[in-house]
């Protein structure tokens, strides 16, 4: 029998579909906001699994619930319902505008459900021609053919043959551009309240309010993709809560399971009522194991202590970034909301985000980019001040080596 224990980064190139280019080290263990690789080297984690590990690695309460539910019931299918799913749905409803919940396993699946629901609602309630979806340049909604087509980056959507039709993209934060294309044949306007992958770009409040008015005027559903911005990431449970606007559908994933795959689509009773048994579904969505974990994640994140701590950590991180900028004059703009922060590289550093990520890793820091020009910071919502300071020290070392 072949021995399978000795794997390293080279193994990746030999066995995996070449769609990622992971860092040169392999993390094997994590605790809070620290991670260790195969050789025992320690890293501060400013990436948080791309805004997923909101309560840090191996949070004791989450390890506990995983073990407990793991010994009780993992999966039962949607032919039967289960207690953790019903309890989680109740919690999400109590905390938001929503009255109905659909669980899935990833952000893309929650969005796929949202887009199908928006189309189905418009077709059922209004007209078979009300199918236009308005979305935004640089938006990101996942990698299924429908979600990647709603996403606003052609480089991800092209090359796979015919796309779902009747999707139109306009510039983000440009209300006039939406006004020019919205009409009674539009079923949905879809956006991330803070664009994540597209460069960490928050929506302007006037833009969100304007969208709500336009949607009401044309009987269009306003869909917020909160896969990245939700579950406390911006300092409120969902980022729509900053805007004093009620969407019709929101999706959430990433931090909802803190790394255990689970996502949800939330909507109103009226909109949900166009769906009937068999209209949509998933095998794993809403399984008791994922929902049990998410219940504990939810209980911890949806507390004043954790949510208020996000703003404090935001300020601390931005101060550090501004200090680094004073010394190295490397960032054009530091922007974002809560712990979804982007630092835009200015000339002559534009396009160098990947180089900085590699130098950061060499100095013991896990960091993300959003495109070639923006460093992205999405750490745990409960990262300690000491870990922030240490991580920023390592970032400065990396930048110093670059300049
Ligand atoms: C805003 C947003 N929507 C959707 C997705 C897709 O989520 P998943 O990769 O879980 O399918 C992502 C992932 O980065 C995201 O940031």
* Side-chain-facing half-sphere of 162: CA atoms under 13 Å: 3
**What is the best residue among 53, 104, 228 to mutate for testing ligand 1's pocket, by most ligand atoms within 8 Å of CB?**
228
- Element holding 379 (H helix, E strand): none
Structure token digits, residue 267: 């909507």
- Indicate whether residue 342 lines ligand 1 (CB < 6 A): no
* Side-chain-facing half-sphere of 97: CA atoms under 13 Å: 20
The answer to whether residue 346 is catalytic is no
The one-digit pLDDT tens for each residue of the chain (403 residues) are 566 669 999 999 999 999 999 999 999 999 999 999 999 999 999 999 999 999 999 999 999 999 999 999 999 999 999 999 999 999 999 999 999 999 999 999 999 999 999 999 999 999 999 999 999 999 999 999 999 999 999 899 999 999 999 999 999 999 999 999 999 999 999 999 999 999 999 999 999 999 999 999 999 999 999 999 999 999 999 999 999 999 999 999 999 999 999 999 999 999 999 999 999 999 999 999 999 999 999 999 999 999 999 999 999 999 999 999 999 999 999 999 999 999 999 999 999 999 999 999 999 999 999 989 999 999 999 999 999 999 999 999 999 999 7
Contact indicator for 183, 218 with CB cutoff of 8 Å: yes
Q: How far is CA 339 from the centre of its chain?
A: 12
- Indicate whether residue 107 lines ligand 1 (CB < 6 A): yes
Contact indicator for 275, 101 with CB cutoff of 8 Å: no
- Indicate whether residue 192 lines ligand 1 (CB < 6 A): yes
Question: What does DSSP assign to residue 306?
Answer: H
Strand partners, 223: 190, 249
pLDDT digits (tens, 9 = 90+) for 354-386: 999 999 999 999 999 998 999 999 999 999 999
Q: Which residue has the tokens 């050789």?
A: 39
Residue 263 CB neighbour total at 10 angstroms: 29
Q: First and final CA of the chain: distance in angstroms?
A: 50
- Indicate whether residue 197 lines ligand 1 (CB < 6 A): yes
The answer to whether residue 160 is catalytic is no
User: Which residue's CA is the closest to the ligand 1 atom numbered 4?
Assistant: 141
The answer to whether residue 45 is catalytic is no
Could you tell me the distance, in angstroms and rounded to a whole number, from the CA of residue 106 to the centre of ligand 1?
7
Catalytic site residue from 140, 172, 238, 260? 140
Cα radius of gyration (the chain) = 21
Residues 331 and 334: their CA atoms lie apart, in Å, by 7
pTM assigned to the model: 0.97
- Indicate whether residue 226 lines ligand 1 (CB < 6 A): no
Sequential DSSP letters for 42-90: EEEESSHHHHT-TT-BT-HHHHHHHHHHHTT-S---TTS--HHHHHHHH
Contact indicator for 290, 282 with CB cutoff of 8 Å: no
Residues 69 and 71: their CA atoms lie apart, in Å, by 5
Structure token digits, residue 354: 């990947």
Question: What does DSSP assign to residue 32?
Answer: B
- Element holding 157 (H helix, E strand): helix 154-157
CA torsion 353-354-356-357 (nearest 10°) is 120
Task: Write the CA distances from 108 to 140, 145, 202, 278, 395, integer angstroms.
Answer: 10, 10, 21, 20, 32
């Amino acid at each position: 029998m072949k021995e399978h224990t000795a794997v390293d980064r080279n193994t990746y190139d030999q066995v995996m579909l070449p769609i990622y280019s992971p860092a040169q080290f392999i993390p094997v263990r994590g605790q809070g906001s620290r991670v260790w690789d195969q050789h025992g080297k320690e890293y501060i984690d400013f990436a948080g699994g791309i805004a997923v590990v909101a309560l840090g690695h191996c949070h004791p309460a989450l390890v506990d619930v995983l073990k407990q539910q793991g010994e009780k019931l993992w999966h039962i299918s949607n032919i039967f319902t289960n207690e953790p799913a019903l309890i989680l749905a109740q919690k999400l409803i109590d905390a938001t505008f929503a009255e109905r919940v659909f669980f899935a396993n990833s952000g893309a699946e929650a969005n796929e459900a949202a887009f199908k629901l928006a189309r189905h609602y418009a077709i059922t309630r209004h007209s078979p021609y009300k199918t236009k979806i308005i979305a935004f340049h640089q938006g990101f909604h996942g990698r299924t053919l429908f979600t990647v087509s709603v996403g606003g980056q052609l480089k991800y959507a092209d090359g796979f043959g015919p796309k779902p039709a009747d999707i139109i993209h306009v510039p983000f934060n440009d209300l006039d551009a939406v006004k020019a294309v919205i009409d009674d044949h539009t079923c949905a306007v879809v956006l991330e309240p803070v664009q994540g992958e597209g460069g960490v770009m928050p929506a302007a409040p006037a833009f969100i309010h304007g969208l709500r008015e336009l949607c009401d005027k044309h009987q269009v559903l306003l869909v917020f993709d909160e896969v990245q911005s939700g579950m406390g990431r911006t300092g409120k449970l969902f980022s729509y809560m900053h805007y004093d606007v009620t969407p019709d559908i929101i999706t959430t994933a990433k931090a909802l399971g803190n790394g255990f795959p689970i996502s949800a689509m939330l909507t109103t009773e009226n909109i949900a009522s166009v769906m009937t048994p068999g209209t949509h579904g998933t095998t794993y969505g809403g399984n008791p194991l994922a929902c049990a974990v998410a219940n504990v994640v939810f209980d911890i994140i949806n507390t004043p202590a954790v949510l208020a701590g996000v703003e404090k950590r935001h300020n601390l991180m931005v101060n550090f970034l501004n200090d680094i900028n004073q010394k190295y004059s490397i960032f054009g703009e530091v922007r974002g909301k809560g712990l979804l922060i982007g630092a835009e590289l200015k000339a002559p550093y534009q396009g160098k985000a990947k180089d900085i990520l590699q130098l950061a890793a060499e100095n013991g820091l896990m960091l993300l980019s959003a495109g070639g020009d923006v460093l992205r910071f999405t750490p745990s919502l409960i990262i300690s001040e000491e870990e922030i300071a240490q991580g920023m020290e390592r970032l400065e070392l990396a930048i110093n080596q670059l300049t």
